[in-house]
């Protein structure tokens, strides 16, 4: 930078020495001090400490240069409001920068920063902070003091977690954490009442946080993660949501509560493991874009998916038997309503054919729940997330209509005979319990297509499953399964998905390669030596081919 730029406030201009007949516009002695200096897109390798000679600067833009450091004198520019040092080669930031108490915009993206000064929280007037595309592994806890921050960009770093303290940023409207290594999001994030846009794409998230206070959240982008479960709890408070992007995850099902998102305009669920959708999705009044390609949907033909959103929504609406207007519409309490009944969502029972008593930490399901059903045919039962030690015996009363039962996240240690009588059952979710075995009587569940036994205590593949020939999906991850019988498995000719991740398999029988109906075979996280990780990474077809090549001639 030429020296006279730094001295522009101090030196008398050249022409003042030559020509003394100034017009009104040239009266240099009335000039104000320089307030903006733009040096962007040059080849600067350093900035002089003489920058302190420009104390009136409010804007300094040196983006797209080759700076490896910043002068500590920057800390003396007490009027500075915007500093853009993006697209340089900065490895650190001088502590003195933390003295810029009037700074509103600080752009540091596309540098080589691996850490930030602890005093970052002193920049209390900051409204915009861009730290994307650096090498940051953590964030100073003092970020909590940036209570005026509106936009924070942390994308494309190496963050493994976010400090819960950032929830103190009460003004934050936009938070971008895309392309990091986040496995969880602090639950406190859900208390950020001003948040409107949240980007969590391309991380390692297994679930979405619940958002009880994010009433203003308009956009949630969480594609390209490892999210398996989409809970009602994740969705039900997001009344303002217009964009929900969850493509390229491992989501198995979409809860009916998605219909509570009345302002939803874009829903992207492409490339997940969704086999069925709530038809009530067709009732979302604002929905303009719905992406579902790349899912194993059984109820929707592929050619329909290609016809576009409006045709798809029309089809979904045509499949709604009852005019379901709202999930939460409870019957009016009249003189005829029993006191116990007002606690029960009769609308869910009559219109949605759903009997739900979940997340109550209950040790037993109250009788009044079953009493309320009376002659109504209930198709879906959800008793998940309680403290049940056994399957409620009265479940047998629903045997002529129930086809989907969720008993996940309880303390059940054995399957009752009553459950084995639910002859119309197609889906059984009993993950996260204390099961060690399944009774032979389960063979009577001849229509069972999907069973989720993840996170239980099985030591062997339950033998009765070999005889339930309608099974299409068996999820047995996170157990202690040490063996399975490939010859019996081959008889299960509808089996398309078998998840045995994180078990105790010391070897994979080569004959498993003959189970040619398998489209998805998941074996990661077991102690066997072969097939090696490189082969597993190539996908199911490659693994089956490898196993077949190992079958002794």
CATH number of domain containing 400: 3.80.10.10
Task: Find the domain containing 462 and state its range.
Answer: 346-549
Q: Within a domain: residue 163?
A: yes
Same-domain check for residues 274 and 369: no
Asked if residues 419 and 401 have their Cβ atoms less than 8 Å apart, the reply is no
Rounded to the nearest 5°, which phi and psi values hold at 381? -120, 130
CA distance 409 to 424: 23
Q: Within a domain: residue 326?
A: no
Rounded to the nearest 5°, which phi and psi values hold at 153? -115, 115
Q: Let me know how long the chain is.
A: 553
pLDDT for residue 453 is more than 60: yes
Asked if residues 446 and 465 have their Cβ atoms less than 8 Å apart, the reply is no
Q: Within a domain: residue 390?
A: yes
Average pLDDT over residues 19-39: 70
CA distance 139 to 153: 12
Average pLDDT over residues 244-259: 91
- Dump pLDDT digits (tens) for 392-423: 999 999 999 999 999 999 999 999 999 999 99
Q: Within a domain: residue 439?
A: yes
Q: Count up the domains in the chain and report the number.
A: 2
| Mean predicted lDDT score pLDDT of the chain | 88
Rounded to the nearest 5°, which phi and psi values hold at 175? -130, 120
Nearest to 143 by CA among 163, 173, 127: 163
Question: What Rg do the C-alpha atoms of the chain give, in angstroms?
Answer: 31
pLDDT for residue 257 is more than 50: yes
Same-domain check for residues 185 and 265: yes
CA distance 499 to 522: 5
CA distance 404 to 450: 9
Q: Within a domain: residue 332?
A: no
Same-domain check for residues 305 and 351: no
What pLDDT was estimated at residue 497? 93
Average pLDDT over residues 116-144: 94
Asked if residues 63 and 87 have their Cβ atoms less than 8 Å apart, the reply is yes
- Residue that the structure tokens 């009559």 belong to: 350
Q: What percent of the chain has pLDDT over 70?
A: 92
Residues 6+ apart with CB under 8 A from 20: none
Cα end-to-end distance, the chain, whole Å: 77
Same-domain check for residues 446 and 316: no
Three-state DSSP class for 297? coil
Sign, CA torsion 233/237/239/241:
negative
Tokens of 476: 């047995």
More confident residue, 189 or 83: 83
CA distance 492 to 475: 14
From residue 46, how far is each of 64, 71, 90, 533 by CA, in Å? 12, 8, 10, 47
Q: How confident is the model at residue 16 (pLDDT cuts 50, 70, 90)?
A: low
pTM over 0.75: no
pLDDT for residue 326 is more than 60: no
Same-domain check for residues 317 and 358: no
Asked if residues 356 and 378 have their Cβ atoms less than 8 Å apart, the reply is no
Rounded to the nearest 5°, which phi and psi values hold at 530? -125, 145
Same-domain check for residues 277 and 395: no
Asked if residues 89 and 67 have their Cβ atoms less than 8 Å apart, the reply is yes
Asked if residues 252 and 233 have their Cβ atoms less than 8 Å apart, the reply is no
Same-domain check for residues 74 and 176: yes
Task: Output 318-325 pairs: Cβ under 8 A, ≥24 positions apart.
Answer: 318/282, 319/279, 319/282, 320/279, 320/280, 320/282, 320/283, 322/351, 322/352, 323/351, 324/259, 324/280, 324/283, 324/351, 324/352, 325/283
pLDDT for residue 305 is more than 90: no
Final residue before a domain boundary, out of 306, 321, 336:
321
Same-domain check for residues 228 and 366: no
Tokens of 106: 């600080």
Q: Within a domain: residue 328?
A: no
Please give the DSSP secondary-structure letter assigned to residue 398: G
Beta bridge partners of 452: 429, 475
Asked if residues 73 and 51 have their Cβ atoms less than 8 Å apart, the reply is yes
pLDDT for residue 357 is more than 80: yes
Q: Within a domain: residue 327?
A: no
Q: Within a domain: residue 333?
A: no
- Dump pLDDT digits (tens) for 371-394: 888 888 899 999 999 999 999 999
What pLDDT was estimated at residue 327? 36
- Dump pLDDT digits (tens) for 465-480: 999 999 999 999 999 9
Q: How confident is the model at residue 259 (pLDDT cuts 50, 70, 90)?
A: confident
Same-domain check for residues 317 and 351: no
Same-domain check for residues 301 and 370: no
pLDDT for residue 323 is more than 70: no
Final residue before a domain boundary, out of 267, 286, 321:
321
What pLDDT was estimated at residue 230? 87
- Count of CA atoms in the C-beta half-sphere (13 A) of 386: 21
Same-domain check for residues 263 and 351: no
Q: How confident is the model at residue 335 (pLDDT cuts 50, 70, 90)?
A: very low
Residues 6+ apart with CB under 8 A from 218: 196, 197, 240, 241, 242, 243
CA distance 12 to 145: 43
Same-domain check for residues 273 and 358: no
- Residue that the structure tokens 């790349």 belong to: 294
């Amino acid at each position: 930078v030429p020296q006279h730029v730094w001295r522009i406030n101090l030196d008398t201009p050249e022409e003042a020495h030559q020509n003394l007949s100034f017009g009104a516009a040239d009266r240099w002695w009335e000039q104000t001090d320089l307030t903006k200096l733009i040096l962007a897109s040059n080849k600067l390798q350093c900035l002089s400490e003489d920058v302190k000679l420009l104390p009136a600067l409010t804007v300094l833009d040196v983006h797209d240069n080759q700076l490896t450091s910043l002068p500590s004198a920057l800390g003396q520019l007490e009027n500075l409001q915007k500093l853009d040092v993006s697209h340089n080669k900065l490895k650190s930031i001088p502590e003195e920068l933390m003295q810029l108490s009037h700074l509103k915009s600080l752009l540091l993206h596309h540098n080589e920063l691996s850490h930030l000064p602890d005093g970052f929280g002193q920049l209390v007037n900051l409204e915009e902070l861009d730290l994307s595309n650096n090498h940051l592994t953590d964030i100073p806890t003092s970020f909590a003091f940036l209570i005026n921050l509106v936009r924070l960009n942390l994308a494309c770093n190496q963050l493994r977690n976010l400090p819960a303290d950032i929830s103190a940023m009460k003004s934050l409207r936009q938070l971008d954490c895309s392309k990091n290594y986040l496995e969880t999001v602090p639950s406190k994030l859900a208390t950020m009442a001003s948040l409107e846009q949240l980007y969590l794409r391309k991380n390692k998230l297994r679930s979405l946080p619940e958002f009880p206070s994010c009433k203003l959240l308009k956009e949630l982008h969480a594609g390209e993660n490892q999210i398996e479960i989409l809970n009602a709890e994740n969705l039900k408070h997001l009344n303002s949501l217009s964009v929900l992007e969850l493509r390229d995850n491992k989501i198995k099902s979409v809860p009916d509560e998605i219909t509570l998102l009345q302002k939803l305009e874009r829903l992207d669920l492409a490339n997940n493991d969704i086999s069925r959708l709530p038809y009530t999705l067709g009732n979302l009044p604002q929905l303009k874009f719905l992406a579902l390609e790349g899912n194993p949907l059984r109820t929707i033909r592929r050619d329909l998916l290609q016809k576009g959103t409006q045709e798809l929504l029309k089809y979904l609406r045509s499949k709604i038997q009852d005019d379901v207007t709202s999930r939460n519409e409870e019957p009016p309490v009249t003189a005829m309503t029993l006191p116990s009944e007002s606690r029960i969502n009769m609308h869910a029972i009559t219109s949605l054919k759903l009997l739900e008593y979940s997340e109550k930490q209950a040790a037993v399901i109250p009788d009044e729940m079953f009493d309320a059903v009376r002659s109504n045919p209930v198709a879906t039962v959800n008793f998940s997330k309680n403290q049940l030690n056994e399957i409620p015996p009265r479940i047998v009363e629903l045997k002529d209509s129930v086809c989907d039962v969720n008993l996940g996240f309880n303390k059940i240690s054995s399957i009752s005979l009553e459950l084995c009588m639910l002859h119309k059952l197609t889906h059984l979710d009993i993950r996260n319990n204390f099961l060690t075995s399944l009774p032979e009587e389960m063979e009577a569940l001849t229509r069972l297509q999907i069973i989720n036994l993840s996170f239980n205590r099985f030591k062997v593949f339950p033998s009765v499953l070999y005889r339930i020939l309608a099974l299409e999906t068996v999820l047995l991850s996170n157990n202690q399964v040490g063996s399975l019988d490939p010859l019996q498995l081959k008889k299960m000719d509808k089996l398309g998905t078998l998840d045995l991740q994180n078990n105790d398999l010391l070897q994979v029988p080569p004959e498993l390669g003959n189970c040619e109906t398998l489209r998805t075979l998941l074996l990661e996280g077991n102690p066997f030596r072969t097939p090696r990780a490189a082969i597993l990474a190539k996908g199911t077809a490659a693994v089956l081919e490898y196993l077949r090549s190992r079958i002794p001639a």
